[in-house]
Amino acid sequence: MLKRLGPTARIAAEAGDPLFPQKLEFNPPVHENWNIVHIAMQIPEVHQIYVCGVNCMRGVVLTAAEMSASDRFSFVLLREEDVVDGTVWEATRDGIADVLRKLPKLPPCVVVFPVCTHHFMGVDMDSIYRSLESEFPSVTFVPAWMDPIMQKHGLPPDQRLRKVMYDPLQPCEAKEKTVTLLGSEFALEPDSDIRRLLASGGYTLRELQDCKSYDDFLRLAEGGTFLVTFPGGKLGISQTAKRLNRPCYYLPVSFDYTCIAESLHTLSDALGIPPLDAAEEQRLCDAALEHTRSIIGNTPIAIDSLFHPRPLELAKLLLIHGFRVTEVYLDAVDEAEQPALSWLKEHAPDLELRSIILPEQRVADRKRPEKTLAIGPKAAWFTSTPYFVNVVQAGGLWGYAGIRSLCDKMIDAFQNEKDTRDIVPRKGLGCVSCI
């Protein structure tokens, strides 16, 4: 017998833990987030090899094609006979070796993705890597995983990948006045607070997105200080910095003035740079928000957690400045957002918190009686609006400048329609698409 799993929306005043039941899941047709194929492909000259069954292979093959990176992608198909006969080890090891022998040129780095089957069969992947390293000594093998069965236990695959993909970085002498920022799929915007602060002290900022070659990638280790802003990269980058004997600072993406000021003071104190004028930066943000509200007016606003890891902080910021935020799409509340949730419970108790993944959302009414501005592609899809800010995973937004940049994006989204049905199904925002 089928039964209803629970409400797909609740008001902020009733928000508890968990926010919604975690059972069956609905995957809305919004695919702008970056998956493990996109993330690992950021390493210049890298070659990815996936080892799995044909059904699982379809998605990753298409992702590589949509990045125009099929020449840096190979696969080894596991067959039912390999499982029945207990030859998964041999199929994996020999298949990877065969791929490498047939490439026109050996890549400097290969990221290998075994799958759930290797867990089920107890395959000794370490011995496979040792064997491959012996045969291909010029290749650095990066052990990754594509194992969705592990998503509810421990770190998800993308967070583990953001650690192992930097394992090729080796300890070296730090380059004077050089800072390395990693852990996000999007480079900081040119006028980011972090960029401006570092530039004022004569520091050079290096990011993965700047690398044009594998040697450039390896030189990321030369940063004397490591930074990470995206929560999904926090653990992996901090472990990489520790291995390289570098200090690492987590400067979280945030819409809270106090949090931004504290992060900038942390960085300025660590590097001995005079801090930015927080009062002036906040004044500029308030002016930008007021100008944006004068244009958008009382238009209802929907926000989603794909746009930014702290959607409740954004809802609070906009409500404080007189915007009409009506709904936020998310399925859990991060610990860092608890203060924002507490504020919303008191000051905006009727704000709707809506699930993204509950199966009832597949048939939920997506029509809105009036023009709606969405901040994030999933909010756009759920509200069927062509007026939306097309940013995922915080983009390059950070700090005070990030708030002002968002204001510009909100105005543009409010004034210019987008083709939602065409845009949001495309994989990996910013990548080439086959659609």
Nearby residues of 59 by Cβ (< 8 Å), 6 or more positions away: none
Q: How far apart are CA 48 and CA 142, in angstroms?
A: 9
**What phi-psi label fits residue 266: left (phi over 0), alpha (psi between -120 and 50 degrees) or beta?**
alpha
Give me the pLDDT at residue 22, please: 77
Give me the pLDDT at residue 165, please: 97
Give me the pLDDT at residue 7, please: 65
Q: How far apart are CA 273 and CA 249, in angstroms?
A: 15
Q: Is 303 helix (H, G, I), strand (E, B) or coil?
A: strand
Give me the pLDDT at residue 4, please: 55
Query: What is the CA 36 to chain-centroid distance, rounded?
Result: 10
Give me the pLDDT at residue 3, please: 52
Sheet containing strand 73-77, edge to edge, reads 73-77, 47-52, 109-113, 140-143
In DSSP terms, which residues pair with 200 in a beta bridge?
none
Is-contact 249 270, C-beta < 8 A? yes
Q: How far apart are CA 307 and CA 423, in angstroms?
A: 15
Give me the pLDDT at residue 405, please: 98
Domains of the chain: 36-164 (3.40.50.1980), 178-271 (3.40.50.1980), 278-423 (3.40.50)
Q: What is the pLDDT along the chain (435 residues), one digit of tens a residue?
A: 445 555 678 889 899 888 988 778 899 999 999 999 999 999 999 999 999 998 888 889 888 888 888 999 999 999 999 999 999 999 999 999 999 999 999 999 999 999 999 999 999 999 999 999 999 999 999 999 998 776 666 778 888 999 999 999 999 999 999 999 999 999 999 999 999 999 999 999 999 999 999 999 999 999 999 999 999 999 999 999 999 999 999 999 999 999 999 999 999 999 999 999 999 999 999 999 999 999 999 999 999 999 999 999 999 999 999 999 999 999 999 999 999 999 999 999 999 999 999 988 888 888 899 999 999 999 999 999 999 999 999 999 999 999 999 999 999 999 999 999 999 999 899 887 666
Cα dist. 347→7, 173, 254 in Å? Answer: 23, 52, 20
